[in-house]
């Protein structure tokens, strides 16, 4: 969840607003203590974690679909596999 915080535009604006004259932000106790309270962090996590889990599942499904496409497309283009074969199987299965 910290990754989401540091990647957010709000956090980047906060860091920019608290920059000193050096190349590094002023990471003093006052600046670091301004993070959200633990309860808000937990509530945020409870809302965001299912979304991140879903994102991971969708990324895995996309990778699987890409791999399937990459295996099938050359065979379809070369004529090694016929689309009609799949259409007739789909009709037979009532899809």
pLDDT band with cut points at 50, 70 and 90 for residue 48:
very high
**Domain range spanning residue 30?**
1-35
pLDDT at 39: 92
- Count the domains in the chain: 2
Lowest mean pLDDT among 8-12, 28-32, 82-86: 28-32
Please check whether residues 29 and 62 belong to one and the same domain: no
Please check whether residues 48 and 85 belong to one and the same domain: yes
Claim: this prediction has a pTM higher than 0.75: no
Question: Count of CB atoms within 10 A of residue 31's CB?
Answer: 14
pLDDT at 38: 87
Does position 52 have pLDDT exceeding 70, yes or no?
A: yes
Tens digit of pLDDT for each residue in 10-21?
A: 777 777 776 654
Question: Count of CB atoms within 10 A of residue 35's CB?
Answer: 13
Please check whether residues 30 and 41 belong to one and the same domain: no
């Amino acid at each position: 969840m910290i990754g989401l915080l540091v990647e957010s535009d709000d956090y980047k604006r906060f860091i920019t607003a608290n920059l000193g004259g050096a190349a590094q932000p002023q990471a003093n106790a006052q600046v670091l203590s301004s993070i959200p309270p633990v309860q808000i962090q937990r509530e945020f996590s409870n809302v965001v974690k299912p979304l991140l889990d879903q994102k991971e599942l969708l990324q895995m499904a996309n990778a699987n679909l890409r791999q399937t496409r990459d295996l099938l497309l050359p065979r379809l283009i070369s004529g090694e596999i016929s689309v009609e074969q799949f259409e007739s199987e789909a009709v037979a299965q009532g899809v």
